Amino acid sequence: MNLRRLAGLDILSEQYSYGHDPKFGYVASSKIADRWVRTTCGYCSVGCGIQIGLRKNRAVTVRANPDHAVNFGKLCPKGLSEHYTMTAKNRALYPLLRKNGRLTRVTWDEALSTMVQRIGDVQSRHGRESFGVLSTGQLVTEEFYALGKLVQLGFGTKNFDGNTTLCMASAVSGYKRSFGSDGPPGCYEDLDKADVILLIGANIADNHPILCQRLERNREAALIVADPRVTKTAMMADIYLPVKPRSDIALLNGIAYVLIREGLVRRDYIEQHTTGFDDFARFVEKFTPEHVARVTGLEEELICRTALLYGRANAAFIGWTMGVNHSTQGAETVSAICNLALMTGNIGRAGAAPFSITGQCNAMGTREAGFTSSLPGYRKFDRADDREELATIWGIDASRIPTSRGLAYPDIIEAAVAKKIRALWIIATNPVVSFPNFDVLKQAFENLEFLVVQDGFHPTPTTELAGLVLPAAIWGEKEGTYTNSERRVSKVNRAVEPPGEAKPDFDIFLDLAERLGVRDELFPNWNQPRDAFEEWKRVSKGRLCDYSSMEYEVIEREGGIQWGGSRLYEDGRFPTEDGRAKFFAVECEPFPEQPGGEYPFIFNTGRTVEHWHTRTKTGRVAILESMSPRAWLEMNPKDASRLSLKPHDRVTVISPRSRVDGVELRVTEIVAPGQVFMPFHYAEANSNRLTQSAFDPISREPNFKQCAVRVEKTPLPGKEATWNS
Ligand code: SF4
């Protein structure tokens, strides 16, 4: 605070004086815009319509689009302050190359020619596949599609994955197993039309806040929330199911048992549209309410009441997010959810859906554009006709398209530890904070010969380790499309120029293609994202995610267009070989690291509404940071009293792998005895120093939600957590 302010002479009048906005009436003068640019929020997958207010070409405010079909004029705290991200002090401004141990400013020409030369050198010595790429759901679809071509056909490596494997891979795998393809079958309108809404491991009040409007509006629906933690969403529920960690599979199978026992199954739907029900019905015979009560910790009556509500509903909706996906059994849990929807015919109808609520703003777009777990347009690597079709569209020989997927994210890291991956390109993600078991990641990075990090922000804990930092444009500075959780393709627009020498990722990819000598072949006449979109329309034509009839202008005008219409599978036909969906028998297994002995607590991680992922975007937005400035650990009062800990004590959390010091303690019954919870946003109190290297064998998604820890009072009173402590 300056002296004038201390003396009361500076009352921040510039910031707080009022003026009259022709559109919005009296508002802070500093927020009166002379121009508005419509776009889509760049944080979560809800996909809210937003407009950026510009004055003299500077973003001074944001407003919700009042008539947008997703958010109806509302934004959450992150959306409401999103314009501040563009001018944040931690924006990456210039290419930086490590010289003599220091990141040193260089020209784009030097940066990109060094990148092509160093990666080429690594590949010539260790093979094409020694280069890996980790991308993100933060890119627009046009960029992601271009990147896939560049990586697999230009750099010639298939070891390409993204941070979506850390959040949505289990939903993708589960849908593929049960329905034959990825693609959430329902839409947000189902939350308005359902008469039972069951949310499992989905704290949407913190993570997808604008969806809560729908819960508030649909007062007639019974809201059931299953979560080990009494989240803000659980507090909204009519029925709260405090399941023990990782007992959700037992609950789902137990509901199936009761539905069969009570005759609440749709035999006609099962017979016409599914396979495997009889085996499944035999399998769930052991999931009696008594058994499920023992496994889940729920009362039998509550399990039966939930099943009866679900089974008797005209339209029942099951939504889930990371509580399901972040698990070594994530994909299987998704199949167990889909089992319930199939046996009751709660799919392809208004209000009825098994619905994965996606994480990032364009996680869906990356899933559709593929190149990681599938080829573009949900094509399969192992299908010759899919490869042939793509090769024809691209005018290349089909033999250049991989016949199997490359390494998934955790396997790329393991391969770096084993020195099979020698060069890594990370785009718009921050694995030092977001990847589990930091010590393994550290070892992987130490083994690399060359690490390139392309990001809109610097420094981040990951850019600080890079050999080369490429500064990228972010939301508000580039154009393209995002696809939200309900398959709504929305337009993303450029409102301002990127700062310094930062460039849109799209331009960086085309420049690299030029230097690799593949631009004319892979990206003929491409100069802007619209060119990629036009090709993507041809590539997706006739596929489940068909964009072929979409135009930028129409998407813009309509406030987004849902591919596949409002709902998929309305005719009961699924994209499997026989056109039928499949039932799966899913055992409920204990999570890999059980508490006990030295490590008596189950450690759970998650988010808070104010922050986004690892805080690279939100950590310098003053209003968000001041609302949630530091990490905390939630502990039940019984445990706190046993350990003689009190609220606001600084504690150390220790797992078999590492420790985090100086975390503020919150003593609260939000968590059950024996469990503790910590948000995963904070680099200086990095929960992923504690989490383990345990991954879903099907989806490769990490088991972020449970590991064993102990909690001690931090030895030095008042010692704050630091990033490298
Ligand atoms: S709910 Fe998600 S999309 Fe909507 S404003 Fe908030 S962060 Fe943005």
210 lines ligand 1 (CB under 6 A): yes
Nearest CA to ligand 1 atom 6: 76
Q: What percent of the chain has pLDDT over 90?
A: 93
Distant-in-sequence, close-in-space partners of 32: CB < 8 Å, separation ≥ 6? 19, 20, 21, 53, 55, 60
Distance CA 117, CA 121 (A): 6
> Is 571's pLDDT higher than 70?
yes
Q: What is the mean pLDDT of residues 381-404?
A: 95
| pLDDT score of 376 | 96
Ligand 1 centroid from CA 674, angstroms: 33
Ligand 1 centroid from CA 79, angstroms: 5
The number of residues making up the chain comes to 725
Ligand 1 binding pocket mutation candidate from 138, 203, 208 (most atoms within 8 A of CB): 208
| pLDDT score of 542 | 96
75 lines ligand 1 (CB under 6 A): yes
DSSP summary character for residue 47:
-
41 lines ligand 1 (CB under 6 A): yes
193 lines ligand 1 (CB under 6 A): no
Atom of ligand 1 nearest to the CA of 210: 1
Ligand 1 centroid from CA 40, angstroms: 9
Q: Sorting pLDDT into bands at 50, 70 and 90, what band is 1?
A: low
Per residue in 52-109, pLDDT (tens digit) is 999 999 999 999 999 899 999 999 999 999 999 999 999 999 999 999 999 999 999 9
Per residue in 475-511, pLDDT (tens digit) is 999 999 999 999 999 999 999 999 999 999 999 999 9
Q: What is the mean pLDDT of residues 685-714?
A: 96
Distance CA 508, CA 511 (A): 5
Query: What does residue 569 show for φ and ψ, rounded to 5 degrees?
Result: 60, 30
Ligand 1 centroid from CA 78, angstroms: 7
Per residue in 122-179, pLDDT (tens digit) is 999 999 999 999 999 999 999 999 999 999 999 999 999 999 999 999 999 999 999 9
Ligand 1 centroid from CA 464, angstroms: 29
Question: Parallel, antiparallel, or unpaired: how do β-strands 96-99 and 468-471 relate?
Answer: antiparallel
Comparing C-alpha atoms, which of 294, 329, 340, 318 is closest to residue 588?
Answer: 329
pTM of the model: 0.95
Ligand 1 centroid from CA 52, angstroms: 14
205 lines ligand 1 (CB under 6 A): no
Question: Parallel, antiparallel, or unpaired: how do β-strands 160-162 and 131-135 relate?
Answer: parallel
Q: What is the mean pLDDT of residues 320-334?
A: 96
Asked if residue 245 lies in contact with residue 294, where contact means CB atoms within 8 angstroms, the answer is no
Distance CA 163, CA 135 (A): 6
208 lines ligand 1 (CB under 6 A): yes
3-state secondary structure of 668: coil
49 lines ligand 1 (CB under 6 A): no
Ligand 1 centroid from CA 596, angstroms: 39
633 lines ligand 1 (CB under 6 A): no
Atom of ligand 1 nearest to the CA of 64: 5
Atom of ligand 1 nearest to the CA of 75: 5
3-state secondary structure of 619: coil
State both tokens at 93.
């401004």
Atom of ligand 1 nearest to the CA of 46: 3
Per residue in 422-457, pLDDT (tens digit) is 999 999 999 999 999 999 999 999 999 999 999 999
Ligand 1 centroid from CA 246, angstroms: 28
Distance CA 148, CA 134 (A): 11
Ligand 1 centroid from CA 196, angstroms: 24
Ligand 1 centroid from CA 187, angstroms: 16
Ligand 1 centroid from CA 561, angstroms: 18
> Is 720's pLDDT higher than 60?
no
Which DSSP string do the residues of 476-500 spell out, in sequence order? TS--EEEE-TT-EEEEE---SPPST
Ligand 1 centroid from CA 212, angstroms: 11
Ligand 1 centroid from CA 230, angstroms: 22
| pLDDT score of 25 | 87
471 lines ligand 1 (CB under 6 A): no
Ligand 1 centroid from CA 10, angstroms: 35
Q: Sorting pLDDT into bands at 50, 70 and 90, what band is 723?
A: very low
Query: What does residue 340 show for φ and ψ, rounded to 5 degrees?
Result: -65, -45
Q: What is the mean pLDDT of residues 518-543?
A: 97
46 lines ligand 1 (CB under 6 A): yes
Distance CA 380, CA 358 (A): 22
Nearest CA to ligand 1 atom 2: 44
Per residue in 623-664, pLDDT (tens digit) is 999 999 999 999 999 999 999 999 999 999 999 999 999 999
79 lines ligand 1 (CB under 6 A): yes
Distant-in-sequence, close-in-space partners of 68: CB < 8 Å, separation ≥ 6? 48, 49, 559, 560
Q: What is the mean pLDDT of residues 114-126?
A: 98
Nearest CA to ligand 1 atom 4: 48
Distance CA 143, CA 138 (A): 10
Helix, strand, coil percent content, the chain, rounded in steps of 5: 35, 20, 45
613 lines ligand 1 (CB under 6 A): no
State both tokens at 226.
């299953």
482 lines ligand 1 (CB under 6 A): no
HEC sequence for 344-357: CCCCCECCEEEEEC
